[in-house]
Amino acid sequence: MDIYVDAYGTTEGFNLPSKPLSNIDLLNFCRRVLKKARCPRTNQYFCSQLIPIREARVPILKLKHVPTQIHCDLSFENLISVRNSEMITLFMALHPVVKPLMTLLRYWGKFHSLTGSNSIKNYALNLLVLVYLANQKIIPSISDLQNMYWKHCKKQNNKAYIIDGKTSL
C-alpha cells in the first residue's frame, strides 16, 4: 500500500515558504517515531520492518503495519503513487481475475529473483498484467475508461472539472 504524507500542506493549497526538513531528514524522523509507536490499548507496536530507501528518486520508508500485516511505502513527495494504487484497486474491482493474476506474477518474479529494489518493480509487473488483460478485452483500457466517464458526463448534462487531482461534477 502506498501512503503519501503531505508534510508541508502542498495538496491543501498551503504555500509554505520553505521546507523545514529535507525529505531524507523527514524520512529518518518518521522512522524513529514509528519505530517506537505503540497502540495504547494493546501496547503492540504499530510498525515493523522499517526500511528507509534513501537512494530512490523519491525517498520512501518501507514498513509493515503490524495489526493488519500490510506492507506499506511511506512517501513525502510522491502523491502520484497513491493515485497509481487507486487505479490498480479500481481494476481489481472491475474483474475478479486481476488480483490473483497480479499476485501470481509477483510470486513468480520473486521466485525467479527478478523483483526487488534493483530489479523489476512489482508496480511494473502489475502494469504488465493490466496491459495484457486490456489487450485481451477482459478489462477496459485507460482510454476506454476515460471515454466512458466523459460519455457519462455528457449523458447527465454535467460538466466535469479536475481540481487538485480530484474529479468533481
**Domain identity same for 128 and 105:** yes
Reduced to 3 states (helix: H, G, I; strand: E, B; else coil), residue 75 is: strand
Contact 2, 85 (CB under 8 A): yes
**Domain identity same for 8 and 45:** yes
Supply the range of the domain harboring residue 59: 2-79
Domain final residue, candidates 26, 46, 79: 79
If you search the block for the grid coordinates 514509528, which residue do you land on? 34
Please state, in angstroms and rounded to a whole number, the distance separating the CA atoms of residues 76 and 140: 31
Model pLDDT for residues 109-153, shown as the tens digit of each residue: 989 988 876 788 888 899 999 999 999 999 998 888 888 877 766
Model pLDDT for residues 72-106, shown as the tens digit of each residue: 888 876 677 778 888 898 999 999 999 999 999 99
